[in-house]
């Protein structure tokens, strides 16, 4: 199984436990240990098909429709008015260049907060590549969930800060579409396997 590429500890442990249980059942029916082992291995199946199925199941750790909605919303927000007369792409440019402002280096927190939004934008841009890859690794997916949640907090805290400072009149629809895209992305990583997924897994294990 390791050679075939099934390296996830949980998957290997489940396969091993199932194999041991199957061998025990075969031996109870009167077969010798070696024969029981051979029959049990045949019943579990070949390594490569198992690897393919485990990848399909692991891929269900994230919600594709929500992620797609997040990416579309993010792109659309760049062409909508976000703040005042500024469109999304202009505001993103301000955020990206804020690190060069004197206020940033003098410890002005609103400017630092604005500059940090670029990190959230970069995570969103990279997420279409990260989600499919990281969904196959429990630890990496956990890190991505934490990162998307941190980006969500970063984005919405900035929006709420503007509102608290009386700037809500300058906030346009694009700002809320942009902020909502991070909520959707965060939710897309929180999908929990359902009973249907577990039943599919049992069929192959």
pLDDT bracket for residue 118 (50, 70, 90): very high
What's the pLDDT score for residue 51?
53
Percent of the chain residues past pLDDT 70, beyond the cut:
77
pLDDT bracket for residue 137 (50, 70, 90): confident
Residue 162 has pLDDT above 80, yes or no: yes
Q: Give the residue ranges of DSSP H helices in the chain.
A: 9-28, 33-44, 47-58, 64-77, 88-97, 102-105, 109-134, 138-164, 173-188, 195-204
**What is the rounded CA–CA span in Å between residue 24 and residue 19?**
9
Residue 81, H or E segment: strand 81-83
What's the pLDDT score for residue 83?
92
Higher pLDDT, 191 or 107: 107
81-105: per-residue pLDDT in tens? 999 889 999 999 999 999 999 999 9
What's the pLDDT score for residue 40?
72
Residue 13 has pLDDT above 60, yes or no: yes
Predicted TM-score (pTM) of the model is 0.67
**Mean of the per-residue pLDDT values for the chain?**
82
């Amino acid at each position: 199984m390791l050679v075939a590429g099934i390296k996830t500890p949980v998957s290997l442990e489940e396969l091993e436990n199932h194999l041991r249980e199957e061998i025990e059942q075969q031996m109870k029916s009167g077969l010798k240990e070696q024969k029981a082992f051979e029959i049990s291995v045949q019943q579990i199946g070949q390594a490569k098909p198992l690897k393919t199925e485990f990848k399909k199941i692991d891929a269900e750790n994230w919600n594709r429709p929500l992620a797609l909605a997040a990416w579309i919303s993010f792109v659309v927000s760049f062409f909508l008015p976000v703040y005042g007369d500024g469109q999304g792409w202009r505001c993103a440019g301000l955020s990206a260049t804020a690190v060069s402002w004197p206020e940033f280096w003098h410890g002005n927190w609103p400017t630092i907060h604005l500059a940090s939004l670029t990190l959230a934008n970069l995570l969103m841009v990279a997420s279409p590549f990260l989600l499919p890859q990281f969904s196959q690794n429990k630890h990496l997916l956990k890190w991505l969930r934490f990162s998307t949640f941190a980006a969500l907090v970063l984005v919405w805290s900035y929006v709420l800060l503007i509102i608290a400072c009386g700037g809500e009149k300058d906030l346009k629809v694009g700002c809320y579409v942009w902020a909502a895209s991070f909520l959707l992305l965060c939710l897309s990583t929180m999908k929990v396997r359902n009973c249907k997924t577990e039943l599919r897994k049992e069929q192959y294990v």
